[in-house]
Amino acid sequence: MQIDAVTRVATDAAEITHSAASLLGRHLDVNCCAYAEVEYDQDNLTVIGNFVDGLPSMVGSYTLRQFSSSAYDLLTEGHPFIVEDSESDQRCGTGIEAFRSAGVRVPSPTR
C-alpha cells in the first residue's frame, strides 16, 4: 500500500503519523520507526507517533544527548544516526539505558 492511499482518507494528524511510520517501518523491515518534532535548540525532541512491533511505544519527550552525544552531533549536522545493536555500538556509550528502554538491539533471527 502506498502512503498517499492511506493518508488521503485520514483526517487525524496522529493517524497520519502512525500510518506513515507503519508503512516505512514495514518497508524497512524494522521493529520501530518514529516521527519526532525537534525543538529549535536541536537537542529536545518529542516523538509524536511511531510504529512498534513488539516494543514499547516511544511517544514522549527526550533529549538527543540522553541517547548519545554521537546522535546529537550527527543529527544536528543533517546525517542519520542508525543503531542496529545498542549493546555493541560504542557510540551509544553513556546512553545505553535509553537505548535499552527503547528496545534498540540486534534483530531476532526470525526477522
Q: What are residue 47's phi and psi, to 5 degrees?
A: -75, 115
Give the pLDDT confidence score for residue 29 in this predicted structure.
86
Q: If pLDDT is split at 50, 70 and 90, which confidence band does 95 have?
A: confident
DSSP secondary structure code for residue 26 in this structure: H
First-to-last CA distance in the chain?
A: 20
pTM of the entire predicted model = 0.69
* pLDDT tens per residue across span 42-70: 788 888 888 888 888 888 888 888 878 88
Counts for the chain of helices (H) and strands (E), in that order: 5, 3
The distance from CA 64 to its chain's CA centroid, rounded to whole angstroms, is 11
Average pLDDT, the chain: 80
Give the pLDDT confidence score for residue 93 in this predicted structure.
80
Q: Write out the H or E segment, with its range, that includes residue 62.
A: strand 60-63
